[in-house]
A and B are shown apart, each in its own frame.
Chain A
Amino acid sequence: MSLSDDLYRDIILEHHRNPHNYGLLDPADVNAEGVNPLCGDECAITLNMHEGRIVEIGVNPRGCAISRASTSMMTDAVKGKSLEEARVAIEQFKHMMLGPGSASDLPQEMEDVEALEGVKVLPARIKCAVLSWDTLLEAMKDAEALSR
């Protein structure tokens, strides 16, 4: 185990220490909560929408460094995007984490997310990284219903 760690890279620890878009929005158009029953990790997400876009996102991730960092990176990846664009970002993330994709397939604007690729070799920890992205999907379903 060396100090510069393949998994716990600086960028992951930085997001973990100071998650972006931290704190739940109040009022919020949409609230969603995700729980990982295996380990007790929790992720709360709030969204404010305007004309089909995620104009504000606020999160309160409680869990390990992987899950907190992933949540933080997720907020950066989808803030300002339309639901359709956010869906593409989620797919790109999952293609890397759960599918055959690799970090090099990610668009430039998601470069921080590349750091999570190291989690792929740890099947038991993949769920930590995916939790917030799945929770966002749930939130987006509610957001869609709102706009109808």
Chain B
Amino acid sequence: MNVQAVRNDFPILDRLFDGRPLIYLDSAATSQKPRAVVSALVEYYENYNANVHRAVYQIGEEATQAYEGTRGKVARFIGTEDTGEVIFTRNTTESINLVAQTWGRANLRDGDEILLTPMEHHSNLIPWQMIAAEKGAKLRFLELNADGTLDLSGLETLLTPRTKLLAFTQMSNVLGTILPTRDLADAAHAVGAVVLVDAAQSAPHMAINVADLGADFLAFSSHKMLGPTGVGVLWGKRALLEAMPPFLGGGDMIRQVWLDRATWNALPWKFEAGTPNIGDVVGFGAALDYLQALGMDEVRRHEVEITAYAMEVLSRIEGLIIYGPTDPQARGGLVSFNMEDVHPHDLATLLDRDHICVRAGHHCCQPLMRLLEVSATARASFYIYNTPEEVDALAASLLRAREVFSRVAV
């Protein structure tokens, strides 16, 4: 992958701050957008802005084709031929809530169990807490090994016929850990549980094929993979989606309506009530084209390389603790760390002086922070436009941050 050529496609990287470029190391929060995505948005709004699915005039047809065209691109991206299984939502969070509120409400009973991991983002925890409380179901949790991998030995005892759902992240947004999705899914299916995979962190960074993953539901967001904010995807197996009640009621999700009842539209529109986020879905299509042109295996190769380099450089900094698996092949393109004696918020503020953007906080993973016995971590995350020179700049800035703090003795 030619990183310089990629960088030229991202206008934000041309912006100078006091004559210096931006060093953006927060793509796990949201990625930057290539020109092609911004252009697709402008093109839609300037040339064929119309509502989808109902207009008989030309631009309405064009808008519908572009909107549904992205659905086809998503289907190809995750390796399914059935576009009816691809539902557009607002984000990963809404995708998971959709499953919790429809599948969960219809299928969970008193005494049922939902199995999760302690490294879930709040978006893959709170929706289950909510529906479990409503239905009298129980949440159970696998445990982590000291290196931030999942302790699979707990599966045998924790997966039982009471387990109705196993939900987990494919790639931790804090530890970077990549979970053995297929093994987990097979074990869950053996006891008849349904499997939901949170792919918010993985879909932007590695090739995904839903058949290989063995998942029943997959959720991810456009904005972390070069696309606009406001678009999420829920993929689900057709048989499950068909059996689920609708999520939101309103226009577009119906077939026939009477004053006292209604019938539902076919998949996927049964789950897309109201005017969807047409412009941003169109932009998402351009993002998927961009990633496919690069090739997801190339994207992954680049990130393993830069993550390996970052771990090597950062591990040379005395007093810096890196969380998660040590093998760069076993983790995604991010590194969470803490510097002895400097709180991550102070680190992030000091790095910002050098126009280096990192995240500091609990990363929407408060239970995991408690397990790590920290209140917060700093996190640098990488994408296709990041370079080893940027990692060097991060390391240099971290050293300067420590100097600032070492002025005053403990």
Contact = CB atoms under 8 A, between A and B. Distances in A.
A63 B405 contact: no
Contacts of A128: 345
B361 A40 contact: yes
B223 interface: no
A65 interface: yes
B262 interface: no
B209 interface: no
Contacts of A5: 404
Contacts of A3: 403-404, 407
Contacts of A90: none
Contacts of B379: none
B253 interface: no
Interface in A105-148: 122, 125, 128
B301 interface: no
Interface in A14-41: 14, 16-17, 38-41
Nearest first, the 4 A-B pairs at minimum CB distance are A64-B343, A64-B345, A13-B408, A40-B375
B361 A17 contact: no
B364 to A, nearest CB: 10
A63 B408 contact: no
A59 interface: no
Interface string B393-410: 000010011011101111
Contact of A1 (B354, B362, B375): B354
Interface of A: 1, 3, 5, 7-8, 10, 13-14, 16-17, 38-42, 62-66, 122, 125, 128
Interface in B365-397: 366, 369, 375-376, 397
Contacts of A64: 343-346
Contact of A7 (B342, B349, B407, B409): B349
Of residues A62, A65, A128, which shows the largest number of chain B Cβ atoms within 10 Å of its Cβ? Answer: A65
Contacts of B199: none
Nearest to B344: A64
B404 A1 contact: yes
B369 A40 contact: yes
Nearest to A122: B349
Contacts of B397: 1
Contacts of B375: 40-42, 62-63
A73 to B, nearest CB: 15
Contact of B343 (A10, A42, A63, A122): A63
A66 B354 contact: no
Interface in B81-135: none
Given A38-B361, A40-B362, A17 B408 contact: yes
Interface string B25-44: 00000000000000000000
B409 A65 contact: no
Contacts of B12: none
Nearest to A125: B349
A39 B345 contact: yes
A123 B280 CA distance: 29
Contacts of A1: 350, 353-354, 397, 400-401, 404
Contacts of B343: 63-65
Contacts of A41: 345, 375
A86 to B, nearest CB: 27
Nearest to A8: B404
Contacts of A42: 375
Contacts of A63: 343, 345, 375
B408 A39 contact: no
Contacts of B410: 17
B184 interface: no
B360 interface: yes
Nearest to B401: A1
